[in-house]
């Protein structure tokens, strides 16, 4: 060590050269930066005494006066006073002596895209993606899955129809399936995705352009002891003209090739006639028998479709579980108030009730002149689908968030219009963990205020997390008549209205 | 259609979106992998969807990546820029997107002035500035001439250039010779020390290297496989942008016999070997045209969203994509963050400059940070930071380059082929390692560090690619 005299001015300066000390240039730059940031230090260079560094030192007025060699470490500091200089030099020694500690492993980098997530999986093992991001961003996530050779369930709603078509074409070409959008259910090899029930494994495969329709049918098959192989929800628009049944056709072909699937049931809201014809033709060419549970005025009953399938299989139709509820006097001339969370179940109720009641107004009307508009408490027969896109903007699906339907029940309680209340309650994964718990106080309060028969279509299985019987008992104790079949529930409500078809 | 992969057994699930479905799947005991999804960092949702759904994209990007990876790079010649690219009198190449003198930054101006002095077009700085300001000297980006240049990238007719060739396509790419560190033209210094070195490079280094390279090939030896050296560097602690120590030594080793056999005077040979051995960035000017060859091979593929250029001129950052050809998308260059030489500090640093981000475009440099943990300390980071940076870059890229392996990541290939769509969706910008030039002309290098491109380059590229996709 050979301290030099200050080179001028009133500042305290130290220029040292040390031999036998080596640190790499990055380390030395870090040391220089640390010392330079100290209070009272105006210039610092800690570097090997290479020609380049000596020139830098000279420019800073900190050149050593003695001969140097590049193997020496140059420590040159200018500080405001001797005290600051001594502290800075001590800190140089401390900085040079410091050791970095490191585990040598990277913190896990989160996957920001579906593609990155799928990349991590073994290509041989079965896998699929579920996408529930906002609809305007869903296409990119779904396209990742298709590009990775994986099928995808798009739960998001609000996906533009042309994007749906592009995704389904790409999926077809890639040999994978796009389920959804906007029909949030699937059961694949026993794994329930989105809104789906715990259904026993069995020989019947479902292709469903309807979420709650698929849930109704699969639950009845479970109750009949039959069970399902897979439930492939193809999206509520798949059988419309614009989409042309792209996913339905692929799903039918997939179930045809699946050894676990012996029969197929196709579940849908009313399809476009041209698409229905194409699907019927394609289904006829498959080796697996395909039965239709497609709703229409001519075939308004999903339960009947299940019963026909059981007959195909040579099985007896069971007595579908129900809780009769209290003996209620019929209220002839009263209005039917159907407050639904499932669109297909609402459709089914309207199709079944319309012949007896005449036109039923709705936010998803069977015909345009029956449009309810935004007045959910209008008088007369009406059926409201709280799961419709217009009522789920900015809030969760009514199977999760009952708020709007509870408000409608409260409004009905306050009204003096004679009425029969018809509800669906959908159990299963993804749904409210205790829907009866939310409904019972509102229904009890309503029935204390006024005469109001309540009929519930309880869609679920004993295996569901909520348990069909537990929920049914709770609802029955509150005075509801409870049915496992929506068609049966609707017919019971019509009986109460004195309007049996 | 069999969909075997879908129905063959209980599937693992990758879930993007609301938690309730992941929770329900976990309750069933399913194998669930959550995506940490968030809205894209930028881009119109309709544009993102148009690109995501462009039926050309997957195949186009596959082609782009295949061409990038297939490209080789061998050293076939060393010749003056005048001959190699027909660089005419009073024309200077510079780094980055197109640039006017009025907008040029300090180091770029310094380098341009220095080149005018070197070529003898001007007798002094003032004269050079008049030539440049009046348009008497034509400026053109290196990238418009199959050329790349580090930092200012200023290349004049008398400068010697590495001539590299892709044996696969026969494509060629060029780069001038690296001057070393400190006060150098590429960092904007132009004083007599710089001029003397440039003259020596013109009169001694260039001719010796030229004789060595040609002589070796004429003697029946294989040309130097530069891509193979790049691959080896990653195994030796270099990331080949900010750290080129191993590569420079290997180049010295490979070139030395032919240099000695060149017949030049022994004192010149000694000077040349000493010069190469004393410049740990000597190899950078061989690595860059190697990357350029590969990215040029991937140019002009309709529907491809892969970057072919990231480059900076000290004022603006510019990118090009395969699907949009020669079109530049530019934004104001950021200023690097890092460590400073001597007394310099952040206020002395010029905004980002140089064509050397071609290394990251190729998937090494900042993208292979994990191969060179020493580099991450430029920003006070740690070894885990280096690994994390490379891990993150995998989510921006289309492929892993098996030729460029990173030992500490289990010899995983480096993240290669930057996808504009993935940059938008992740909101993560490419990580670039870089040198820092002084803001004031004539200063030279002030430090080194890390930098990212401005997002707006990628915003423009995304919109343009989406427009192409819609009209295709």
pLDDT tens digits, residue range A226-253? 999 999 999 999 999 999 999 999 999 9
Per-residue pLDDT reduced to its tens digit, B231-267: 999 999 999 999 999 999 999 999 999 999 999 999 9
Question: To the nearest whole angstrom, how far is the Cα of A35 from the nearest Cα of chain B?
Answer: 11
Q: Quick check: B182 contacting A, CB < 8 Å?
A: yes
Count Cβ atoms within 10 A of the Cβ of residue B286 and give its class: 0-12 exposed, 13-18 middle, 19 or more buried: buried
Among A312, A331, A362, identify where a domain stops: A312
Query: In the predicted model, what is the mean pLDDT of residues A135-147?
Result: 96
What average pLDDT does chain A have?
A: 91
Cβ–Cβ of A139/B52 closer than 8 Å?
Answer: yes
Residue B162 backbone phi and psi in degrees, to 5:
-65, 130
Residue A9 has pLDDT above 60, yes or no: no
- Identify the domain containing residue A208 by its residue range: 114-312
Cβ–Cβ of A112/B36 closer than 8 Å?
Answer: yes
What average pLDDT does chain B have?
A: 95
Per-residue pLDDT reduced to its tens digit, A173-192: 999 999 989 877 899 999 99
Number of domains making up chain A: 3
- A306 and A417 housed in the same domain: no
Query: In the predicted model, what is the mean pLDDT of residues A329-339?
Result: 90
Ranges of beta strands (E only) in A66-216 are: 73-79, 127-132, 151-154, 178-179, 185-188, 191-194, 201-208
Would you state the pLDDT for residue A51?
85
Per-residue pLDDT reduced to its tens digit, B329-359: 999 999 998 888 888 989 999 999 999 999 9
For the ranges A26-40, A48-62, B243-257, the maximum mean pLDDT occurs at B243-257
Query: Residue A153 and residue A132: Cα distance in Å, rounded?
Result: 9
Residue B379 — very low, low, confident or very high, per pLDDT cuts 50/70/90? Answer: low
Query: Which helix (H) or strand (E) covers residue B398, if one does?
Result: strand B397-406
- A326 and A308 housed in the same domain: no
Residue B380 — very low, low, confident or very high, per pLDDT cuts 50/70/90? Answer: low
Count Cβ atoms within 10 A of the Cβ of residue B123 and give its class: 0-12 exposed, 13-18 middle, 19 or more buried: exposed
In a domain, A5, yes or no: no
Hunting for tokens 């300066």 — which residue is that?
A13
- A145 and A216 housed in the same domain: yes
Residue A8 has pLDDT above 80, yes or no: no
Residue B122 has pLDDT above 90, yes or no: yes
Hunting for tokens 């820092």 — which residue is that?
B436
Residue A56 — very low, low, confident or very high, per pLDDT cuts 50/70/90? Answer: confident
Residue A430 has pLDDT above 90, yes or no: no
Residue B40 has pLDDT above 60, yes or no: yes
Interface test with B, best of A26, A98, A231, A400 (most B CBs within 10 A): A26
Question: What percent of chain A is predicted at pLDDT more than 70?
Answer: 96
In a domain, A457, yes or no: yes
Q: Tell me which residues of chain B, numbers 364 to 393, contact chain A at a CB-CB cutoff of 8 Å.
A: 370, 374-375, 377-378, 380, 382-384, 387-388, 391-392
Token duo for residue B425 = 């969706």
CATH number, domain with residue A329? 3.40.50.261
Residue B373 — very low, low, confident or very high, per pLDDT cuts 50/70/90? Answer: confident
Q: Tell me which residues of chain A, numbers 85 to 114, contact chain B at a CB-CB cutoff of 8 Å.
A: 100, 102-107, 109-114
- A402 and A298 housed in the same domain: no
Q: Which residues on chain B are in Cβ contact (under 8 Å) with A110?
A: 36
Q: Quick check: B470 contacting A, CB < 8 Å?
A: no
- A281 and A183 housed in the same domain: yes
Would you state the pLDDT for residue A7?
46
Cβ–Cβ of A151/B12 closer than 8 Å?
Answer: no
- A199 and A172 housed in the same domain: yes
In a domain, A385, yes or no: yes
Per-residue pLDDT reduced to its tens digit, B265-284: 999 999 999 999 999 999 99
Q: Which residues on chain A are in Cβ contact (under 8 Å) with B6?
A: 126, 128, 151, 176-177, 188, 254
Residue B21 — very low, low, confident or very high, per pLDDT cuts 50/70/90? Answer: confident
Token duo for residue B31 = 């194998």
Closest by CA to B69, choosing from B369, B414, B432, B420, is B414
Residue B321 has pLDDT above 80, yes or no: yes
Cβ–Cβ of A132/B17 closer than 8 Å?
Answer: yes
Query: Residue B53 and residue B291: Cα distance in Å, rounded?
Result: 30
For residue A166, give the 3-state DSSP assignment. helix
Would you state the pLDDT for residue B48?
97
Question: To the nearest whole angstrom, how far is the Cα of A425 from the nearest Cα of chain B?
Answer: 18
Cβ–Cβ of A139/B16 closer than 8 Å?
Answer: no
Would you state the pLDDT for residue A189?
92
Cβ–Cβ of B49/A139 closer than 8 Å?
Answer: yes
Residue B376 has pLDDT above 80, yes or no: no
Q: Quick check: A461 contacting B, CB < 8 Å?
A: no
Beta bridge partners of A99: none
| Residue-wise burial string across A108-135, b where 16 or more C-beta atoms lie within 10 A, e elsewhere | ebebbbbbbbbbebeeeebbbbbbbbeb
Lowest-confidence pick of A16-20, A307-311, A469-473: A16-20
Q: Tell me which residues of chain A, numbers 228 to 287, contact chain B at a CB-CB cutoff of 8 Å.
A: 230, 250, 253-255, 257-258, 260
Token duo for residue B221 = 């030896």
Would you state the pLDDT for residue A124?
82
- A166 and A202 housed in the same domain: yes
Closest by CA to A213, choosing from A242, A189, A191, A239, is A239
Lowest-confidence pick of A18-27, A318-327, B197-206, B225-234: A18-27
Beta bridge partners of B401: B414
Q: Tell me which residues of chain A, numbers 136 to 195, contact chain B at a CB-CB cutoff of 8 Å.
A: 136-137, 139-141, 143-145, 147, 149-151, 155-156, 160, 163, 166-167, 169-170, 172, 175-177, 188-194
Q: Quick check: B278 contacting A, CB < 8 Å?
A: no
- A134 and A282 housed in the same domain: yes
Question: To the nearest whole angstrom, how far is the Cα of B170 from the nearest Cα of chain A?
Answer: 32
In a domain, A501, yes or no: no
Domain annotation for chain B: domains and CATH numbers: 1-37 (no CATH), 69-287 (3.90.1710.10), 299-471 (3.90.1700.10)
Q: How many CB atoms lie within 10 A of CB A227?
A: 16
Per-residue pLDDT reduced to its tens digit, A364-378: 999 999 998 888 888
Closest by CA to A4, choosing from A92, A67, A87, A94, is A67
For residue A191, give the 3-state DSSP assignment. strand
Among A68, A97, A126, identify where a domain stops: A97
Q: Which residue of A has its CA nearest to B12?
A: A127
Token duo for residue B215 = 């002589």
Q: Quick check: B343 contacting A, CB < 8 Å?
A: yes
Question: To the nearest whole angstrom, how far is the Cα of A29 from the nearest Cα of chain B?
Answer: 6
Cβ–Cβ of B339/A26 closer than 8 Å?
Answer: yes
Per-residue pLDDT reduced to its tens digit, B175-210: 999 999 889 999 999 999 999 999 999 999 999 999
Would you state the pLDDT for residue A327?
79
Token duo for residue A192 = 């329930």
In a domain, A430, yes or no: yes
Q: Which residues on chain B are in Cβ contact (under 8 Å) with A145?
A: 14
In a domain, A461, yes or no: yes
Among A312, A339, A372, identify where a domain stops: A312
Residue A350 has pLDDT above 50, yes or no: yes
Query: Residue A267 and residue A217: Cα distance in Å, rounded?
Result: 8
Residue B228 has pLDDT above 80, yes or no: yes
Would you state the pLDDT for residue A1?
38
Greater pLDDT, A371 or B1: A371
Residue A310 has pLDDT above 70, yes or no: yes
Token duo for residue A223 = 């109750």
Sheet with A73-79, side-by-side order of all strands: A12-18, A73-79, A41-48
Residues B374 and A24 sit within 8 Å (Cβ to Cβ):
yes
Token duo for residue B446 = 């002030």
Hunting for tokens 């029930």 — which residue is that?
A197
Query: Residue A339 and residue A363: Cα distance in Å, rounded?
Result: 11
- A307 and A326 housed in the same domain: no
- Using alpha carbons only, what angle is made at residue B207 by residues B205 and B213, rounded to the nearest 5 degrees? 95
Per-residue pLDDT reduced to its tens digit, A379-396: 999 999 998 878 877 777
- A215 and A237 housed in the same domain: yes
Q: Which residue of A has its CA nearest to B388?
A: A106
Query: Residue B173 and residue B155: Cα distance in Å, rounded?
Result: 14
Question: What percent of chain B is predicted at pLDDT more than 70?
Answer: 98
Q: How many CB atoms lie within 10 A of CB B318?
A: 26
Q: Which residues on chain B are in Cβ contact (under 8 Å) with A137?
A: 39-40, 45, 48-49
Residue A312 has pLDDT above 90, yes or no: yes
Per-residue pLDDT reduced to its tens digit, A267-296: 998 889 999 999 999 999 999 999 999 999
- A296 and A355 housed in the same domain: no
Cβ–Cβ of B1/A110 closer than 8 Å?
Answer: no
Cβ–Cβ of B11/A170 closer than 8 Å?
Answer: no
Token duo for residue B107 = 């180091």
DSSP state of B201: I
Would you state the pLDDT for residue A50?
87
Cβ–Cβ of B421/A60 closer than 8 Å?
Answer: no
Residue A426 has pLDDT above 90, yes or no: yes
Q: How many CB atoms lie within 10 A of CB A64?
A: 19
Hunting for tokens 């045809």 — which residue is that?
A256
CATH number, domain with residue A68? 3.30.70.60
Q: Which residues on chain A are in Cβ contact (under 8 Å) with B1?
A: 172, 175, 250, 253-254, 257
Residues B239 and B365 sit within 8 Å (Cβ to Cβ):
yes
Residue A139 has pLDDT above 80, yes or no: yes
Q: Tell me which residues of chain A, numbers 393 to 432, contact chain B at a CB-CB cutoff of 8 Å.
A: 400, 429-430
Q: How many CB atoms lie within 10 A of CB A403?
A: 12
Q: Tell me which residues of chain A, numbers 34 to 93, contact chain B at a CB-CB cutoff of 8 Å.
A: 36, 43-45, 47, 52-53, 55-57, 59-60
Question: To the nearest whole angstrom, how far is the Cα of A109 from the nearest Cα of chain B?
Answer: 6
Query: Residue B297 and residue B109: Cα distance in Å, rounded?
Result: 32
Would you state the pLDDT for residue A381?
96
Q: Which residues contact B332 (CB under 8 A, 6 or more apart)?
A: B315, B316, B317, B351, B454
Cβ–Cβ of B428/A112 closer than 8 Å?
Answer: yes
CA B305 to chain centroid: 18
Cβ–Cβ of B48/A166 closer than 8 Å?
Answer: no
Closest by CA to B194, choosing from B448, B440, B444, is B444
Q: Tell me which residues of chain B, numbers 38 to 77, contact chain A at a CB-CB cutoff of 8 Å.
A: 38-40, 45-46, 48-49, 51-53, 55, 58
Q: Within chain B, what is the greatest distance between any pair of CA atoms?
A: 81
- A52 and A142 housed in the same domain: no
Question: What percent of chain A is predicted at pLDDT more than 90?
Answer: 71
């Amino acid at each position: 060590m050979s301290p030099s005299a200050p080179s001028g001015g009133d500042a305290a300066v130290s220029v040292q050269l040390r031999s036998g000390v080596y640190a790499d240039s990055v380390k030395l730059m870090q040391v220089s930066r640390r010392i330079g940031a100290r209070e009272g230090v105006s210039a610092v260079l800690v570097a090997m005494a290479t020609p380049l560094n000596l020139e830098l030192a000279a420019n800073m007025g900190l050149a050593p006066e003695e001969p140097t060699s590049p193997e020496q470490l140059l420590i040159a500091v200018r500080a405001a006073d001797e005290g600051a200089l001594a502290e800075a030099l001590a800190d140089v020694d401390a900085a040079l002596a410091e050791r970095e500690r490191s585990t040598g492993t990277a913190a896990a980098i989160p996957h920001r895209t579906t593609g990155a997530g799928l990349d991590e999986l073994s290509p041989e093992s079965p896998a699929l993606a579920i996408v529930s991001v906002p609809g305007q961003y869903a296409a990119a996530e779904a396209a990742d899955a298709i590009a990775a050779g994986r099928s995808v369930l798009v739960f998001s709603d609000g996906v533009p129809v042309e994007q749906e078509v592009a995704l389904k074409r790409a999926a077809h070409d890639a040999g994978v399936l796009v389920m959804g959008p906007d029909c949030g259910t699937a059961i694949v090899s026993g794994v329930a995705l989105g809104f789906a029930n715990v259904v026993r494994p069995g020989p019947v495969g479902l292709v469903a352009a309807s979420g709650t329709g698929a849930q109704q049918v699969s639950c009845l098959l479970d109750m009949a002891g039959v069970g399902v192989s897979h439930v492939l929800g193809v999206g509520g628009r798949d059988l419309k003209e614009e989409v042309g049944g792209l996913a339905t056709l692929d799903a039918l072909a997939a179930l045809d090739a699946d050894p676990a699937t012996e029969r197929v049931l196709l579940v849908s809201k009313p399809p476009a006639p041209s698409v229905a014809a194409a699907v019927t033709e394609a289904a006829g060419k498959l080796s697996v028998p395909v039965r239709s549970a497609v709703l229409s005025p001519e075939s308004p009953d999903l339960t009947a479709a299940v019963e026909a399938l059981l007959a195909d299989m040579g099985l007896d139709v069971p007595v579908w579980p129900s809780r009769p509820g209290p003996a209620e006097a019929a209220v002839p001339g009263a209005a039917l108030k159907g407050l639904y969370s499932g669109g297909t179940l609402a459709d089914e109720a309207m199709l079944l009730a319309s012949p007896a009641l005449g036109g039923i107004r709705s936010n998803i009307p069977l015909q345009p002149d029956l449009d309810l508009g935004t007045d959910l408490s209008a008088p007369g027969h009406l059926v409201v689908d709280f799961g419709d896109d217009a009522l789920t903007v900015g809030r969760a699906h009514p199977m999760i968030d009952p708020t709007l339907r509870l408000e409608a029940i409260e409004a009905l309680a306050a009204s003096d219009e004679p009425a029969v209340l018809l509800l669906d309650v959908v159990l299963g994964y993804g749904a409210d963990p205790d829907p009866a718990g939310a409904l019972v106080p509102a229904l009890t309060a309503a029935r204390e205020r006024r005469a109001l028969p309540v009929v519930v279509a309880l869609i679920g299985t004993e295996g569901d997390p909520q348990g069909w019987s537990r929920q049914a008992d709770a609802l029955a104790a509150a005075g509801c008549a409870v049915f496992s079949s929506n068609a049966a529930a609707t017919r019971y409500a019509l009986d109460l209205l004195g309007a049996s078809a | 259609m069999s969909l075997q992969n879908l129905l063959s057994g209980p599937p693992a699930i990758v879930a993007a979106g609301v938690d309730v479905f992941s929770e329900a799947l976990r309750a069933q005991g399913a194998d669930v992998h959550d995506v940490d999804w968030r809205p894209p960092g930028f881009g119109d949702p309709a544009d993102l969807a148009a690109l995501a759904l462009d039926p050309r994209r997957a195949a186009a990007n596959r082609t782009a990546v295949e061409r990038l990876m297939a490209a080789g790079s061998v050293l076939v010649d060393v010749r003056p820029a005048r001959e190699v690219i027909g660089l005419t009198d009073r024309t200077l190449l510079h780094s980055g997107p197109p640039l006017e003198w009025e907008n040029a930054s300090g180091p770029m101006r310094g380098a341009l002035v220095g080149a005018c002095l070197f070529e003898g077009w001007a007798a002094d700085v003032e004269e050079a500035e008049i030539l440049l300001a009046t348009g008497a000297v034509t400026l053109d980006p290196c990238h418009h001439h199959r050329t790349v240049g580090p930092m200012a990238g200023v290349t004049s007719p008398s400068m010697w250039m590495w001539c590299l060739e892709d044996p696969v396509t026969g494509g060629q790419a060029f780069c001038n010779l690296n001057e070393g560190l400190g006060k150098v033209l590429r960092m904007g210094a132009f004083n007599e020390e710089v001029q003397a070195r440039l003259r020596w490079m013109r009169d001694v280094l260039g001719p010796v290297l030229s004789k060595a390279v040609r002589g070796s090939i004429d003697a029946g030896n294989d040309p130097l496989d530069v891509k193979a050296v790049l691959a080896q560097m990653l195994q030796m602690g270099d990331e080949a942008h900010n750290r080129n120590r191993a590569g420079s030594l290997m180049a010295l080793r490979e070139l030395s016999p032919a240099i000695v056999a060149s017949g030049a005077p022994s004192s010149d040979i000694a000077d040349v070997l000493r010069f190469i051995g004393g410049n740990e960035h000597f190899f950078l000017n061989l690595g860059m045209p190697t990357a350029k060859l590969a990215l040029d091979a991937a140019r002009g593929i309709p529907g491809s969203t892969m970057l072919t250029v990231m480059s900076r001129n000290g004022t603006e950052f510019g990118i090009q994509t395969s699907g949009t050809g020669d079109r530049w998308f530019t934004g104001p260059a950021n200023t690097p963050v890092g460590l400073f030489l001597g007394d310099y500090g952040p206020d002395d640093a010029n905004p980002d400059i140089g064509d050397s981000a071609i290394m990251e475009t190729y998937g090494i440099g900042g993208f292979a940070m994990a191969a060179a943990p020493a580099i991450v300390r430029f920003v006070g980071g740690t070894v885990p930071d280096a690994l994390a940076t490379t891990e993150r870059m995998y989510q921006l890229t289309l492929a892993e380059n098996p030729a460029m392996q990173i030992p500490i990541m289990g010899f995983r290939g480096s993240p290669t082929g930057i996808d504009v769509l993935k940059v938008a969706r992740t909101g993560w910008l490419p990580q670039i390692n870089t040198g820092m030039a002084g803001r004031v002309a004539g200063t030279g290098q002030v430090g080194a560090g890390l930098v990212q491109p401005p997002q707006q380059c990628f915003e423009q590229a995304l919109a343009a690619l989406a427009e192409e996709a819609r009209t295709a």
